[in-house]
Amino acid sequence: MIVPLSEYDFLARALRVYGDREAIVSGDLRLTYRQFGERVNRWANLMTSLGVRKGDRVAIISQNDHRMLDGFFGATLLGAIYMPINFRLIASDFSYILNHAEAKVLIVEDWLAPMIEQIRSELQSIEHYIMTSDAGEPPPGWHDYDKLLASAPASEVTPAVIDENEIATILYTSGTTGRPKGVMSTHRNLYLNAMNSIIEFGLTHDDVYLHTLAMFHCNGWGLPYAVTGVGGRHVVVRKYDPAGFFALAAREGMTFACMPPTMINMAMNHQLTAEERAGLPKRARVATAGSAPPMAVIRAMQDGLGWDVIQVYGLTETSPFLTVSRVKPHMRAWPEAERLRVQTRTGYPMLGVALRVVDGHGREVAADGQQVGEIVARSNVVMEGYWRQPEATDSVIVDGWFHTGDMATIDDEGMVEIVDRKKDLIISGGENVSSIEVEGMLYQHPAVLEAACIAIPDPRWGEAPGALIVLKPGMAATEEEIIDFCRERMAHFKCPRSVSFIDGLPRTTTGKIQKNLLREKFWQGREKKVG
């Protein structure tokens, strides 16, 4: 008999095998898997009492919190569609998303309730407003999450009959332009992505996973399911800051975390005392994605802390993982610089992922590490499509292949390396310039904390690289110095023609630099300066 794949399978196994083992640490709260399983039953019974049925949408807007984990598994029991939403959005975005998805129940962290009240009259489908809080009573018109959950029965729930190809979650992409699109991930998508996470990250019941990554993003990269399935321990990081992260890693004995490069960079620029450094766990693993990590950042974490950095690549539309970049056995004897170079690459396909790099005519480019094309993928982790946007779906899934919009090369090792997003590739005098390559060089300058490279107008070459730099505290540099530093180390046509120093780079919640905002804000009218 074929049994449909379901994310609840991961918790069901943990309950059978690891029931008395500690499952969740969130602030002062500590739960075993058996206690967590009871919460999930209560969640499902509560939603049933509120009229939630198979296919209904339950939305939650919150920072990382143990309450978010309830719904990851409870929604699957009911066959409901879970919708973790980016808490950093503005009121109009919340209104659009909730109405577009026709969410039935809305769960909100207390500090966000006033913003929801501003748009409450606009929300057309919400029937129940529920607030999570560690202090105080909810205002009129809101229900208290913890009280509702405590009053719901913990009796076992008969799982809904689901097809593994039905929708499990709708995750609205943060995007850099236009309205967010609702990515429909199926139960099969999430299940297979979690299995790949277990395999590629080597997860076991000995692991202690720190949820540094926002759980709303690609369902926290699938780690809520993967860590649960192997009986590992979840440690919830409510809000990331380097000092708090290191303290929690030491206290709980962290073995694994997911951190975009911006988080790693912040951590490695945080000053640790000798005592703090000595108390940190040894040989932890850190997965990173969102943008290519500079070699200097990888070296700092591996040499400074002894933690292994694992580069992965994917998109919300692919649940999210497509590739992983790890040093293969025959590469272990390579010089350190070459091994680090491998780790900065996008990587080779994970199990079950067919991946190609194609030119504008759909033909595969040569596997020479030089020719550039677009990454396209076909896999059971590719989304069902965009919620109620068939034209947008058809524009990215063509003949069964998902077009990522990421431009890359591929070498004879099968290693893909992204050189840029289609829209961010700089074409200067007919030459392709990778903004990622330029940024990697900028990060080697001792005064540079963060860097971004974008195309700026050039009267001679059409466009040219321009750099925006955030300096390290107490450090100084000039535009001329930065440009000369690059010209000494790379082809001159790739070097920045102009440099601006700014206080911070605009980023999405996943750490991606919003280059469209940089172009709009910093480079309008720069034509007169460049030349």
Reading across the β-sheet that carries 498-501, which strands appear in turn?
448-458, 462-471, 498-501
- Is residue 7 within 8 A of residue 72, CB to CB? The reply is yes
SS3 129: strand
Highest mean pLDDT among 85-89, 136-140, 316-320: 316-320
Percent of the chain with pLDDT over 90: 77
Predicted confidence at residue 180, as pLDDT, reads 83
On the question of pLDDT at 510 being above 60, the answer is: no
Residue with tokens 């079950």: 352
* pLDDT exceeds 90 at position 182: yes
Q: 295-305 and 336-344 helices cross at what angle (nearest 10)?
A: 120
Q: At 194, which helix (H) or strand (E)?
A: helix 187-201
* Domains of the chain and any CATH numbers: 8-20+27-186 (3.40.50.12780), 240-421 (3.40.50.12780), 426-528 (3.30.300.30)
pLDDT tens-place string over residues 30-74 = 999 999 999 999 999 999 999 999 999 999 999 999 999 999 999
DSSP 372-407: -EEEEEEETTS-SEETT-HHHHHHHEETTEEEEEEE
For residues 393 and 494, what is the distance between their CA atoms, to the nearest angstrom? 35
Q: What integer pLDDT is reported at residue 500 of this predicted model? A: 93
Average pLDDT value for the chain: 92
**pLDDT at site 323:** 97
Helix residue spans in 235-352 (DSSP H): 242-252, 261-268, 274-278, 295-305, 336-344
Q: How far apart are CA 152 and CA 39, in angstroms?
A: 9
How many Cα atoms occupy the beta-carbon half-sphere of 134 within 13 Å?
10
User: The pTM is what?
Assistant: 0.85
pLDDT at 310: 95
Confidence (pLDDT) at 518: 86
Give, in order, the Cα–Cα distances in Å from 285 to each of 235, 241, 274: 15, 18, 21
- Check residue 130 and give its pLDDT: 98
Which pLDDT does position 524 carry in this prediction? 53
How many Cβ atoms sit within 10 Å of the Cβ of residue 230?
21
CB 75 within 8 A of CB 52: no
Q: What's the pLDDT score for residue 425? A: 75
Q: What are phi and psi of 258, to 5 degrees?
A: -115, 125
Least confident of 267-271, 422-426, 479-483: 422-426
pLDDT surpassing 60 at residue 176 = no
